[in-house]
Structure 1
Amino acid sequence: MKYAFCYVSTASMDLNETILKNLMDQTLQQNLKNNIKGILLFSDGNFFQVLEGEKSFLLQLYSKIEKDPRHQGLIQIVGKDISHGAYDSYETRVLEEDIKYDAPKLLEEYVKPLKGMD
């Protein structure tokens, strides 16, 4: 059964550029390897992630994320069964300071796939 969850959290430590790049690259590779679709965004010390995939795998993954010391203040926004997903692949992105001025366009870009989620 397909499942989707979305959460936000705050990084529990300052992540320098190298640590953050390694984290994003590792997450991207692991999720592609496990046929997980969605997006991971990082901005101002906060994570936003949407994941879609096999329910049993995602529930185990969410349990790991809850215990991950790099996250604090984890809030699950969505957690539900889906018949089809909204994302075609998996993507990671660090939102830089200069991108924030384009926030309305950026928000639409990342919210648009969610309209396809049942």
Structure 2
Amino acid sequence: MTWTPRPAAVAAPPSAGAARIRVRALIAAVLFVPALVVAKILVLATEQGSRCLMYGGCAPFPVLLFLALSGAALAATVLALAGPQRMRPGALTAQLLLELVAVGLVPVFP
């Protein structure tokens, strides 16, 4: 009786859809910080934003809400990049929506 080893199980190659989702998630993650900078510059270019910068007295920025949104967007990014295939499209959608809300929060509080 001879023993012949079985070949190691080979994982299936990722599909083209998975690669597209990963690329889109990375692009959205990389563009998140520049979008925040552009939003802040646009706010400071307004009269109210300039007045808040120079004289103060404006409503405080909700830092905890912003950090919660950014953290959730980061978790969705990780899930879109490394999660199971069936969860990646939803994770990408969640990432994009959370980043959009976080960037939209910047103009509301100059």
TM-score of the superposed pair, with normalisation by structure 2: 0.31
Higher share in helix: 2
Q: Which has the higher strand share?
A: 1
- TM-score normalised by the chain length of structure 1: 0.29
